[in-house]
Structure 1
Amino acid sequence: MHINAYIPDKQNWNRKLLHIYWGLVLIQIPVEFFYFLKVETQEHITANHILIPTLIMVLIMAGMEAAYRLSQQTLDYFILIGGSFLTFTIIYFNYDVKMAPLYVLIPILVSIFYFQRAKFLISVVLSLLSLTILFNLSDLLAAIPILGLATLIAFGIMKRGVEILANLHATTELKQELMIKNIIMDKLSKTDALTDLYNHITFHEYLEKLIEQSESGHLCIHLAVLDIDNFKKVNDTYGHRAGDAVLTSVSGILKKSVGLNDFAARYGGEEFAVIFTEKSTDGIYEILERIRWHVSQTKYDELSGQAVTISIGLCEYSKGMGKEQFFGGADQSLYTAKKTGKNKTVIHTFPLLKTN
């Protein structure tokens, strides 16, 4: 039986156990004084039941405190052994007190905190050794059943604690697995499987939220719509696997080029959309031109060493424009780029022009 649940708070719990033993020492002094005050002289009380046992107990505690500061790795065993010496001292100097032998159970109870069978058995052996040294055979035979019963109860408590902690650990792991699965499922529902960009639905959700922020807080946003030129010809000539390679490459260029506060999505088919936030039109135009140039310089083995080009339309949001007009402005600029030679970036200017 072994469990590591104790380890993260090991130093903190060892400190608490030392506090318990210090409390035992402090309580024992007045208890002994008032008990023996009735039966012995003041001088005898002071020497045999106050000064000497207190000195020994303080020395034992000093040893455990030194171990606490020097070695946390072996401190568990110092606490178990030191606790056994401490209870041995109390029983030895209070031999005539009927309930004194019960102190021998304290190290066993303390060992439960470690949830480790080896340390529990060490405390049992030390307690049994204390009884063997302190009592004659008849008293020892009378004490062993009590010690045995207490040991079984303590062992059962520890075993039950281990089971609870194991169940808690299993439940925690299950919750973590479910959380990871939920995160993965959430990501899959929001992203395009091929390009790993956000999908069409997520794009519109995000666009609506940013427009709301722009209307209420004057957030500056731009929308760029990008389309791969002659993509149908790529699929018809080289196949859909070649088309997928192009889509994956273009999406990778987008992801590397846009900022952390920008939003890139695969809008559908060979069309992409990027929402830019808090950037000037000139700055965004430069980013889009770098993207366009990079795409035009990328060669594909699947296309017999050829490259593809993209056309881009860009529109800045104006207050009161609304989502439809905003997207329409970017889309109309893309249409202009397509109609005027492709492989270019066109910035939208008001008013919207009819394209039919």
Structure 2
Amino acid sequence: MLENFISVLLYAIMDFRITKCIFSTFAFFIALQTAPFPAAADTNTESSPPATNISLSGPWKIILGDDRRYADPGLNVDSWDEINLPGNLIRYSKSKGKGVDGVLWIRKRIHVDKELSGEPMGLSLGRIGNADETFFNGEKVGSTGSFPPREHSMWNFPRHYMVPAKLIKYGEENVVAVRISYYIFGELLGNPEFLPYAEWKFDADMAHFLRITMSFFIIAMGTTLFIIFAIFYIRQPDETVYFYYALQLVVGFFVVFELCINWRIFPTTLLRFKVLALSWIALNVAHPIFLHRFYDLKRIWTERFLWTYLACAGFIAVFLVHRSNADFYFLLVTSLTMNIGLYNISCHISALYKKRPYSGMFSFFGIAVILGALHDGVVYLGKGFNADFHIGGYHFNDMYFPYSAMALYTGIALVLVSRSIDMTKRIEELNVNLEASVEERTGQLKDALKELESKNMLLSEMALRDGLTGLFNHAAIHDRLAAVMNESQRIGFSMCVAMLDLDNFKGLNDRYGHQLGDMILVKVAHIMKGELTGGNAPGDEGRLEIQESVIRAYDVAGRYGGDEFILGLPYCDEEKAVSIANRLRVCFEEIHFDDFPGVQVRGSFGIAVLSPERTCPEIKDLVALADIALYKSKACGKNRISVVHYFGGKDTI
């Protein structure tokens, strides 16, 4: 077991080399979010007084309740309690028996040095949950969010308010008063300071960029990927991995949007927190189901449990959670859902151990997003328990899920690119193999055709010829047709046998003599051998107006007896056979003899068709069928074509 663990660890370390640059980018953004941002140093070599940053950390005066007089700088607040900030405010409210919902005021006196006289300054108060109004020497300098009854929480927005120089008492005591609305979330976090304008402006811009602008950028990335994967799923509905990845993006949108929501979309903060909680649970349910499909992990019962958990959480949120017990529900689902994150990490480790496709590439990013989610889970627990969770000097105050979501986006994008490259390579390989197969098959067909032609030539030399026409005689044509039929059944092509009988040939013989009969037979034989391809030649006694050979090079023709002829047509189905017979019939009609101008040559045809899927034991059976079809043509008026198909004993004309 230890060896397996070490091998997985080494595999992950090796893969880390591929992704360390991306990891460094994420680390850079996180470092920017947590680090203080001093103003750029003055390059002027002349001596000048250093910029004075007045820290607002430490003791503040605090009182529960809401009274506009609390903003008055002359108000005596000696009776107010003291609280150390930054820190949690709800813990104080609970100690006074006021619970997690209400309004309070905090005040602090600060001394502004005379050296800063005439210079505007700015308040950097960190993040305040949920809404605030801030006053400086009794004058309102800014607000974020809104108070009940039209409450709107902007707990993740950094508070930066500029203080005009006319409000500042240089060399004297000044009063900062902050009115705060709290519900479940109630805190002042960050590094509150009173800064010279240049430093304040830099800090305000950087904080807004990292916490708000970056969140919208990440939402835009997620929206783009959602469209891509939605299209993938629509085109390939069987690939449910696309559906569950897109589902993660939908519910993850609400989780990230919670951190940067600038508009009052939800009528109450309670509804907003319910949506956040259910989105958080749905995200943690959809992610392992996505991993099951991505890594091909068959865990049906686990998925059923996850869906059941989501359904129970949704039912409780809709029907049982109200304003007074929402904090307990929030803590419960956060605590339970974080365990799913640990299960997700086990999915990645299992995939690495089993060496599932793309596990080495994706697991790094997958674990990064899970760690980000677990980190933010601890942050939410701290808000719910009104506690300051920390490890050493690190305090769990900042939300990192958007950045870890960016890691997930990057990981899946890399997988998509890798899959696309692999698919392109596979397609190229398939194309090469297909071309080779086509070339090989074409060669085989050419070889088969050459072999057939060679056998035709060999049989032609060996066969006995009819003395008058030069065609195969009765015995030879049977052998030739048998060879053609055997070849057709071996290779698998259709063939036809056509029987031809000249109409009224006996009458022509009786009327004009056997000399004309022989001339007709020779002329018909020339046509069937494909030897006549033009008009009259000098010395010809007949005219033939055809421009191309009707018979193909590999067709075989023979004189069956008297005025009967037979054709073997390989690579020929019914349609082609009928076409050839029709062309022959037309050619016969164009035969004319100068010495016998009234003579017309006509022919009747009978065609037997042997399909590739049928097996004929002997050629005589096919010839007999052609003869039956010929008889049908004769019986129906002559000078026509009839077709019969071979069905192995049950023939249909």
Fold in common (TM above 0.5): no
Length-normalised TM-score, structure 2: 0.25
Greater relative contact order (Cα 8 A, min sep 6): structure 1 or 2?
1
- Tell which structure's C-alpha radius of gyration is larger: 2
